[in-house]
Amino acid sequence: MAVTETTTAETEGDLKVALKALASDKRLKILDWLKDVKTNFPPQEHGNQVTEGACNLFIVEKLGVSQPTGSRHLKVLVDAGLVVATRRKGWTYYRRNEDALTAVAEQMRGI
Amino acid sequence: MAVTETTTAETEGDLKVALKALASDKRLKILDWLKDVKTNFPPQEHGNQVTEGACNLFIVEKLGVSQPTGSRHLKVLVDAGLVVATRRKGWTYYRRNEDALTAVAEQMRGI
DNA sequence: TGTCGACATAGCGTGTTTGCTATGTCGACA
DNA sequence: TGTCGACATAGCAAACACGCTATGTCGACA
């Protein structure tokens, strides 16, 4: 099948890393869009929008940047553990890591 | 008397600005130290540690950086509205802006 | 095997951050 | 008025972030 899921940081990761990943307009937008993939992105014939997330190309297009730039923003989020990448067939899907995001929000209460 | 309080951003400020200010080991440390000025810093004969906060020099020394570098880190926090600076006599005191910090934490819950 | 579509990586120019030293400002006090 | 202590600002170099174009990789399909 060749399905690969990528998550670098743990749920209770380094707060600084998460904050650096979040301190960007475009990455905040991506996270917001991923809250509701179905309404924020065109339909995908290939991957399940709900379980797997949004296709890389759609995110890049909506961001209004070049494909490599968009991919790098997504990589920052993945490396921080805030987003999960699912690679299948030719496409890569991205979805929110809700556990990590709520963990960060929880840590922020003790800031 | 010549007492000046400085707060640039509002309580419900730009989340990105707050996150950028927070995405730094040293600034996170400062905020943590300011939670308990009395135990984290030497006694001050001049300013009230509880109501006014910690003296600039003590923070700089504890940070282990030069005085201008420390001052700039503090300025970033002040500009983001997360810390309040009180200038009196020759000294400048810094204390946490709890309202702003809890506001940021609250916003993070909707991230 | 060859090509094509979807990303990922490399490399580069530019702007921002972070450290420093040097210097300016400003109130207190001799 | 002059000096000193406590910051703030200016200016500079190194490191990092972010945009792009060019190119590599890799699975699907002819």
Q: pLDDT digits over B6-39, tens only?
A: 554 444 458 999 999 999 999 999 999 999 999 9
Q: Which residue is nearest to nucleotide D10 (CA to C1')?
A: B68
Helices (H), chain B: 15-22, 25-33, 37-40, 56-63, 67-79, 98-108
Q: What whole-number distance in Å separates Cα of residue A49 and Cα of residue A62?
A: 16
Q: List the single residue in B23, B102, B109 with the smallest CB-CB distance to A19.
A: B23
Count of CB atoms situated within 10 Å of the CB of B47: 18
Q: Which of B23, B101, B111 sits opposite A105 (nearest CB)?
A: B111
Task: Enumerate domains of chain B plus CATH numbers.
Answer: 4-108 (1.10.10.10)
Cβ pair A53, A93 in contact under 8 A: yes
- Amino acid at residue number A90: G
Higher pLDDT, A5 or A111: A111
Rounded to the nearest 5 percent, the helix, strand and coil shares of chain A are: 50, 15, 35
Q: Which of residues 78-107 of A touch B (CB under 8 A)?
A: 101, 104-105
Sheet holding A4-6, edge to edge: A4-6, A83-88, A91-96, A54-55
Contact A56, A74 (CB under 8 A): yes
Size of interface A-B (CB pairs under 8 A): 41
Contact between the CB of A67 and strand C at under 7 Å: yes
Q: Can you tell me the distance from the alpha carbon of B24 to that of A19, in angstroms, rounded to the nearest whole number?
A: 8
Protein CA A18 to sugar C1' C7 (Å): 24
**Distance C11 C1' – A64 CA (angstroms):** 22
Could you report the per-residue pLDDT of A24-81, keeping only the tens digit for each? 999 999 999 999 999 999 998 787 888 888 999 999 999 999 999 999 999 999 999 9
